[in-house]
Amino acid sequence: MKTFNLLLSSINDVKDFVNIVSKYDFDVDLTSGRYVVDAKSIMGIFSLDLSKPIKVEVHSDECEKFMEELDKFIIK
């Protein structure tokens, strides 16, 4: 499992993020405060507080290409 933080600052960022995540078979969860949602659910993401960084949990160890695609959203 891989964990990192990202920031989705616009509606287009959320749409791009969901399109990327949906291409992969493994599960990805987003956590904001006490709420956890499926990263493939655009409605779930919009229920989170997007003004703050969001914790991402990738349930796969083979996610290098996935991480490269999300690089523009990841907080370093």
Residue 13 binned pLDDT confidence (cut-offs 50, 70, 90): very high
Instruction: State yes or no: pLDDT of 76 exceeds 90.
Output: no
> Can you tell me the mean pLDDT for 15-40?
97
Task: Encode pLDDT of 50-71 as tens digits.
Answer: 999 999 999 999 999 999 999 9
Cα–Cα distances in Å, from 69 out to 36, 49, 52?
A: 22, 23, 21
Strand partners, 11: none
Percentage of the chain beyond pLDDT 90 is 99
Helix/strand/coil percent split, the chain, to 5: 30, 25, 45
